[in-house]
Structure 1
Amino acid sequence: MSGFIAGGQVTSESVPGTHINSHPFWPSIDLDKLRETLRIDSSVTAARLETAVVAAIISINRDLAKWRVARQAEGFNALADVPDDDHLTNVERVHLYVRAVECAAGAEVCERYRGYDTAASGGKNADESAPTIDDYRRDQRWAVRDFLGSSRTTVELL
């Protein structure tokens, strides 16, 4: 008898809580909370989720590198230490950082699992998940732009 349950839910007993840490300035990412927030079931293994989150962290940390370096030059050792300003509170900054990472990881998970089932139903499911991937990418960009205080819209005159 197999203990494998296709599409089963991940429980705290089956996968211990894990945090992914990157640069000490940034908050750690709680994989259990991310899995719950994005409603990622056990069909995505812990190793695959971790890989997606690490890739997301690398991307978001690169997007915010200049901002981080400037804050560290001001003497702040962690994002949570950066004081409120007219633009954001430090709680909002932490939330936007985590949201950007979650959305980037969510998009990667969706992209990787699009072609998992190559049957007709798999193709239909891939088509249905495409807007979700785009939504995750959009939300990732918006979180980074909101974090930096940039406009969400870029307009060029032709």
Structure 2
Amino acid sequence: MSGFIATGSSAAEHTIENGAFWPEIDCLALRAAMRLDASVTAERLEAAAINAMIEANGELATYRQDREAEGHATLAAVPAEQIKGESQLLHLYRRAIYCRATAELVERYRNYDATNSGEQKATEESTNIDELRRDARHALRSILGISHTTVELL
């Protein structure tokens, strides 16, 4: 009998604290929601999630200041519709983080295969990256109460 047991990464996935106002991000939930396999190490996942949090928090800084001035200590305390027993703002915030982190990871893990199938896969991944960034942008705009449509007159 073999003594080997496949356990995956040695680094335990955990939650990342996110200041007093924003919700913490659970790396295991991010991995499951975005269907990230074991080729993405826990350390790389955490780095991508932290970067996504920094970017989103920066974009939402004025929103946070306004909500805190209204007396809301956390995003969960801001009045909003509830979905699955939780503020829709929390769902939107996590979506923004998950999509941004995944876009960064997909970009870093591109297949370098130079064959036609490799080129096709790279094209598909580029589309996927754009879609992930769009979804993150839509989630942030929904939090801000801004339309998802940008119209420009020519």
Q: List runs of 5+ in structure 2 lacking aligned partners.
A: none
The residue matched to 1:153 in structure 2 has which SS?
Answer: coil
Q: CA deviation at 1:63?
A: 1.0
Deviant stretches of 4+, over 6 Å: none
Q: Which residue of 1 aligns with 2:88?
A: 92
In structure 2, which of residues 121, 142, 147 is the aligned counterpart of residue 146 of structure 1? 142
- Matches for 1:31-70 after TM superposition, within 5 Å: 31-70=27-66
In the alignment, the residues of structure 2 paired with residue 122 and residue 42 of structure 1 have an alpha-carbon distance, to the nearest angstrom, of 21
TM-score, length-scaled by structure 1: 0.83
Q: Which residue of 2 aligns with 1:22?
A: 18
- Write the letter of the residue equivalent to 1:16: A
**Residue deviations 1:89-116 (CA, integer Å, cap 9, x gap):** 571101000000001001101111114x
Q: CA deviation at 1:10?
A: 5.2
In the alignment, the residues of structure 2 paired with residue 40 and residue 10 of structure 1 have an alpha-carbon distance, to the nearest angstrom, of 13
Q: Which residue of 2 aligns with 1:110?
A: 106
Q: Is the 8 A contact 1:25 1:78 kept in 2?
A: yes
Q: CA deviation at 1:125?
A: 2.2
Count how many residue pairs are aligned between Structure 1 and Structure 2: 148
Q: CA deviation at 1:119?
A: 4.2
Q: List runs of 5+ in structure 1 lacking aligned partners.
A: none
